[in-house]
Chain A
Amino acid sequence: GENVEQHPSTLSVQEGDSAVIKCTYSDSASNYFPWYKQELGKRPQLIIDIRSNVGEKKDQRIAVTLNKTAKHFSLHITETQPEDSAVYFCAAGPFGNEKLTFGTGTRLTIIP
């Protein structure tokens, strides 16, 4: 089955700086890669996703890049703000199958 590794497990960033979280996956059949954000005490929510036919996707201050050859994808947050503090999960899944395998999560702390 799919195995998703996520690094780092914790990340502290000065407000205004950029944050990068990286994930690798094992199953070459995976072609859907979402990122979920979970604020303290709240449920995970999708913030951005990418499919394998695209190398990069951007939505305001967040972007995701995908390298299918190397089987890794990354979340980039620019101009970080205090409300970006949360746990972020990457995931991978095969197209046509709604089941996802999640990474172990990254706790991002933005230092004011």
Chain B
Amino acid sequence: DVKVTQSSRYLVKRTGEKVFLECVQDMDHENMFWYRQDPGLGLRLIYFSYDVKMKEKGDIPEGYSVSREKKERFSLILESASTNQTSMYLCASNPQGSYEQYFGPGTRLTVT
């Protein structure tokens, strides 16, 4: 059974703080994704990674960066959190050549 975990379910940070969101998958998947989910806007891709140390910008990368030093772990970094980054963040993964994405439980981030 595929398991994708995220470091926190809820997170509250102050404006200007550096924020790290961690995602870990235990199925040796090559691809990992970070989305943000906002009401009425659906799931929007921030960044994805198709291999260790490889990354590609998604549709809304501004204000975010990512790190993938190990295959199982994909981190999303908010260099200087702002209130408009308050959102639900979802991580997902899948193996290369497959299309079904397996999602983590999400992190609800509030920036005050």
Name A's B-contacting residues (CB within 8 A). Answer: 1, 6, 9, 32, 34, 42-46, 49, 89, 93, 98-105
Closest residue of B by beta carbon distance from A106: B42
Q: Is the CB of A43 within 8 A of B99?
A: no
Flag whether B48 is at the interface (Cβ < 8 A). Answer: yes
CB distance from B3 to the nearest CB of A (A): 11
CB distance from A40 to the nearest CB of B (A): 12
Q: Is the CB of B42 within 8 A of A98?
A: no
A42-B105, A43-B90, A44-B103 provided; 15 other pairs, C-beta below 8 A?
A1-B59, A6-B42, A43-B103, A43-B106, A44-B43, A45-B103, A93-B99, A98-B50, A99-B45, A99-B48, A99-B56, A102-B45, A104-B42, A105-B40, A105-B43
Chain B residues with CB under 8 A of A100: 45, 99, 101
Closest residue of A by beta carbon distance from B99: A32
Give Cα distance in the complex from A101 to B45, angstroms. 8
Name B's A-contacting residues (CB within 8 A). Answer: 4, 31, 33, 35, 40-45, 48, 50, 56, 58-59, 90, 94, 96-101, 103-106
CB distance from A50 to the nearest CB of B (A): 11
